[in-house]
Amino acid sequence: MRLDSGSGRSLAVAALEYNTAFRPATRSPPMPTDTATPTVSFHHANDIPRVDAGKVPPIIERMKAIVGADGVLTHKAELAVYECDGFTVEKNKPDVVVFPTSTEHVVQIVKACNELDVPFMARGAGTSLAGGCVPVGGGVMIALSRMKKILEVNVRDRYAVVEAGVVNVWLTNQLKPHGYHYAPDPSSQGACTIGGNVATNSGGPHTLKYGVTVNHVIGVEMVLPDGRVVITGGPCEDSPGYDLTGTIVGSEGTFGIVTKTWVRITRNPEAYRTLLGVFGSIDDAVNTISEIVAAGIVPAALELLDQTILGAVEAAFKFGFPLDAAAVLIMEVDGLAAGLQEEADRIEAIAKRNSAREVRKANTESERLALWKARKQAFGTIGRLGYPSYCTQDGVVPRTKLPDIMKHIQATSAKYGIAIANVFHAGDGNIHPILMFDERDPVQVEKVLHASTDILEECIRLGGSVTGEHGIGVEKLDFMPKLFSPDDLAFMVRLRTAFNPSNRCSPNKMLPTAGACVEAGHVHQVKPGRRAAV
């Protein structure tokens, strides 16, 4: 469905063609569920009202009645924790945060929200980087973090059943004694939940070889926005009918609240070879990546860290990275021991052909784990660089275009005077420029937003897209009409309407049906949340 770059039509055109009647969730009557084209229009951020203040006390009482007083947060200071996720540029407090511990709790919460006509949304660990957790307009935030049981591990049939709030790495830890792991491994895996991974279809360093979340989820239990419970799939590899599981994965919580998931578990590889290529230029590092893949090698991971992030990682952990390198590449192959060394040798030869200064090897499991620790903790070390805030972008380009996009990122950094570090799943062509700033300064916030837009538009121009793995959230609403035609978007709205006819569940996210301002045929970048420093 994606259009070629440049052929996306404007939000204004989309608005006209949708022929329209979207109203903010707190006021809207249910949308039609028949086959008529749903009607949608665009609203200015200020048009999205907060939940009527009179509804807040009764909704709090209902939530306490369902989960108990210790499962509800209402104090302003407590709610501030839930006003944003890792995309701190957009913020808005929910009216109440509620912590269910069972599917039945979620059912009752959702039914109460419908009765009182209050919007609601799911939250896992809040590590999303695209504003997926911003409760635009307020309402009830359903935090799944107390639904954290691993319900079943079935090694013989190679699946596990987990509640939505289970932290990703807990499952792999539990599988260790069996020689198995859960393959999707976002760098946030020590904190993010499997429910959040399902909603965003998370990737990770090892998804180059093993695939993203959708390739590992075989069923979900989800509370629909009207309170009914559906189960799609289950322990078997395939189930008849439409692939609802695949449809729900990546829907960013707009189809309902996922409460339970059946996931595939993966046998640990017999052996690994993990190399660290040290490069004097980013071009040499990214050319190495294209050449490895073109040589028919499927590495388990190819991760790039640039000089800026290496400085932060070194300051925090003292791993012994060469601070004068322009970039390092973590290159890993895994599988059967036989033949693996030859593959690693070929990779080393390719890196050296591309002017790698040095190729280091992880000789022991602890050296290998240290390298991965450096990669996975990299975001956490950014504080060492002296900036109070950062915004992680998430674009994707064809691998061979990585040199172009990296040059563009450097030029954008110079153009706006914004420091940018890079650490990314380079093997997927997935870039993560980290823009560093002070969110208390409106000028810097504006610069970051413009610089981010420049980078993402360049990704589109190079034949890529504006998200490789973090999703659209509220952050990237404006880009959807640049990637999709009005017909594509209208079709997506119809799909959302089939699951979520009232649009009370996670409104104002993912699809540009609200929060955009269309004026005299021009689209203004108006986001639905409150901007930092503004």
Ligand X SMILES: Cc1cc2nc3c(=O)[nH]c(=O)nc-3n(C[C@H](O)[C@H](O)[C@H](O)COP(=O)(O)OP(=O)(O)OC[C@H]3O[C@@H](n4cnc5c(N)ncnc54)[C@H](O)[C@@H]3O)c2cc1C
Q: For binding to ligand X (CB under 6 A), which residues are involved?
A: 85-86, 121-129, 132-133, 144, 164, 186-188, 192-193, 195-197, 199-200, 202-204, 252-253, 257-258, 379, 469-470, 506
321, 86, 302, 284: CA torsion to nearest 10: -60
Specify whether the CB–CB gap between 253 and 132 falls below 8 A. Answer: yes
Q: Toward ligand X, which CB reaches closer, 251 or 485?
A: 251
Rounded to the nearest whole angstrom, what is the least distance from the CB of residue 231 to ligand X in the complex? 14
Q: Toward ligand X, which CB reaches closer, 120 or 343?
A: 120
Rounded to the nearest whole angstrom, what is the least distance from the CB of residue 515 to ligand X in the complex? 15
For CA atoms 510, 516, 520, 522, the dihedral sign is negative
103: closest CA among 67, 51, 54?
Answer: 67
Rounded to the nearest whole angstrom, what is the least distance from the CB of residue 156 to ligand X in the complex? 28
Rounded to the nearest whole angstrom, what is the least distance from the CB of residue 376 to ligand X in the complex? 8
- Residues 6+ positions from 249 with CB-CB distance below 8 Å: 198, 199, 201, 213, 214, 217, 220
Q: Toward ligand X, which CB reaches closer, 129 or 344?
A: 129
Specify whether the CB–CB gap between 193 and 167 falls below 8 A. Answer: yes
Q: Toward ligand X, which CB reaches closer, 133 or 276?
A: 133
What's the one-letter identity of residue 12? Answer: A
422: β partners:
433
Rounded to the nearest whole angstrom, what is the least distance from the CB of residue 208 to ligand X in the complex? 11
Rounded to the nearest whole angstrom, what is the least distance from the CB of residue 236 to ligand X in the complex? 23
- Residues 6+ positions from 273 with CB-CB distance below 8 Å: 332, 333, 334, 340, 341, 343, 344, 361
- Residues 6+ positions from 88 with CB-CB distance below 8 Å: 389, 391, 439, 532
Q: Toward ligand X, which CB reaches closer, 254 or 287?
A: 254
Distance CA(472)–CA(474), nearest Å, equals 6
Q: Toward ligand X, which CB reaches closer, 128 or 307?
A: 128
Rounded to the nearest whole angstrom, what is the least distance from the CB of residue 19 to ligand X in the complex? 28
Q: Toward ligand X, which CB reaches closer, 253 or 528?
A: 253
Q: Toward ligand X, which CB reaches closer, 37 or 215?
A: 215
Positions of E strands within 265-400: 266-267, 271-279, 301-306, 327-335, 356-361, 389-392, 395-396
Rounded to the nearest whole angstrom, what is the least distance from the CB of residue 51 to ligand X in the complex? 17
